[in-house]
A and B are shown apart, each in its own frame.
Chain A
Amino acid sequence: MGRHPFEEHLPRLRRYALALMRDRMRADDLVQDTLERALRKFSLFRRNTDLRAWLFTIMHNVHVNQIRAAAAAARTQPDDAGGEPSRAPLDEAAIARDISNALQHLAPEHREVILLVGLEQLSYEETARVLDVPIGTVMSRLTRARERLRALMSGEISPTLRRVK
């Protein structure tokens, strides 16, 4: 039996999903949702385009939908009676040591850009297509993402502080 054309892209889809989600189970759930959606939409895939970029596009869309759904669910949750929610204290030293932690303190759109370019080594044009934004937006997000990550990892800024644009 011939291998499915998606199969050779599975390791990289898993790598990207793991970097996004950090949790293995949730990462593979994201890959699974992506594959199921890709199979449903495969008839729309145009032969002469890049399958890998197309799969990353679908993963991006699934991921963004999940973030939106989670945000909507959080909005409809009634507030806790206690007022200020308690937060686990942030271990800033750990963030500096671990780029995985630092990534979690980037805005989702910044995290995606830095992962697609720096980890998945997509070209800037491919990244723009995957995220469906102009290439200028990719470049400006990349600068913000890399500079914020640098500041976080050097301890220059605390993750609790929001930088004002």
Chain B
Amino acid sequence: MSDQPPPISDDTLHAYVDGRLDAAHSAEIGTRLATDAVLSARVQAWREQNQALHALFDPVLDEPVPARLTQILTPPARARWLHMAAAIGWLAVGGMLGWAVHGKLEPATPIEAVALAQRAAVAHVVYASEVQHPVEVKADQEQHLVHWLSKRLGTELRVPDLNRFGYQLVGGRLLPGDKGPAAQFMYQEARGTRLTLYVAIQTDVTQETAFRYEAGEGVNVLYWVDHGRGFALAGETDRATLLRLGHAAYETLSF
């Protein structure tokens, strides 16, 4: 063995700075650096770079992660429904739901109202899980939203205020209904749970129904027909909550 050890390689210097050497090797390099001003200045600068990077960027680790990022990873229960809808096609889902709904209801339920419930359920599943564009017009333009949708549906619409239940209006959109345009209003509460109100004109203006409730997979629907307009509230909430929301909505919507 020679007295003169080979020069320290760059790779070893990096490993020294990054703490990748075992204790003995690290101590040996430390000793050798003590007598080499050029190399130790280099190592010192590299260390300070690491420290500066941490000082500058570590604070972001303690920040809450923005909701738009966590939302991508936490598709709510309705996403299962959505995947199913995507897998077997919307029409098939509509048909299945129709069959399920139909089998359980008294014969008096008009077919048109059942179709309304189906469309409301599918529309809820599709748009309530949407992260980027849940609505076309946001709640900050509520007046414009109501005016626009009223015009398209050809009837005066009102937006129920569900704030006292913790649901705030997100906005709304125009949708194709069974026989013409339909409107969807979306609400959201603090935990991100969404509720949608679907409205469509009913062709049979004489038909009125009481509240009907149907539990689907991942979405429950409360619907009724009043003054030639069909309404459906869709959400993942349980029947009792949906009924309370329905009563509150009915007060605004029945005029």
The reply to whether B10 and A139 form a contact with Cβ atoms under 8 Å apart is: yes
Contact partners of B36 in chain A: CB under 8 A: none
Contact partners of B77 in chain A: CB under 8 A: 1
Known A117-B18, A139-B14, A142-B14: A18·B69 in contact at CB below 8 Å: no
The reply to whether B61 and A15 form a contact with Cβ atoms under 8 Å apart is: yes
Question: What is the number of residues of chain A that contact chain B, defined by CB distance less than 8 Å?
Answer: 37
The reply to whether A14 and B60 form a contact with Cβ atoms under 8 Å apart is: yes
The reply to whether A35 and B11 form a contact with Cβ atoms under 8 Å apart is: no
Interface of A (DSSP majority class):
helix
A94-111 Cβ-contact flags toward B at 8 Å (1 or 0): 000001100000000000
CB of B143 within 8 A of chain A? no
CB of A92 within 8 A of chain B? no
Extra contacts, 9 of them, besides A15-B60, A117-B18 (Cβ < 8 A), are A6-B73, A11-B62, A14-B65, A18-B57, A32-B68, A118-B49, A124-B15, A147-B42, A150-B45
The reply to whether B18 and A118 form a contact with Cβ atoms under 8 Å apart is: yes
For residue B14, which residue of chain A has the nearest CB? Answer: A142
Report A's interface with B, CB cutoff 8 A. 1, 3-4, 6-7, 10-12, 14-15, 18-19, 28, 31-32, 35-36, 39, 99-100, 114-115, 117-119, 121, 123-124, 139, 142-143, 146-147, 149-150, 153-154
The reply to whether B49 and A149 form a contact with Cβ atoms under 8 Å apart is: yes
- Give the most central of A6, A28, A118, A121: most B CB within 10 Å: A118
Interface of B (DSSP majority class):
helix
Beta-carbon contacts under 8 Å, B157-215 to A: none
18 A-B pairs within 8 Å (CB atoms) are namely A3-B74, A7-B70, A11-B60, A19-B56, A19-B57, A31-B69, A32-B72, A35-B69, A35-B72, A39-B72, A100-B56, A118-B18, A118-B50, A119-B50, A124-B20, A139-B11, A146-B45, A153-B45
Q: Tell me, in angstroms, the Cα distance from A153 to B45 when the chains sit together.
A: 9
The reply to whether B66 and A28 form a contact with Cβ atoms under 8 Å apart is: yes
Contact partners of A143 in chain B: CB under 8 A: 10, 14
Beta-carbon contacts under 8 Å, B211-231 to A: none
The reply to whether A119 and B53 form a contact with Cβ atoms under 8 Å apart is: yes
Contact partners of B56 in chain A: CB under 8 A: 19, 99-100
The reply to whether A1 and B60 form a contact with Cβ atoms under 8 Å apart is: no
Known A19-B53, A99-B49, A146-B46: A10·B70 in contact at CB below 8 Å: yes
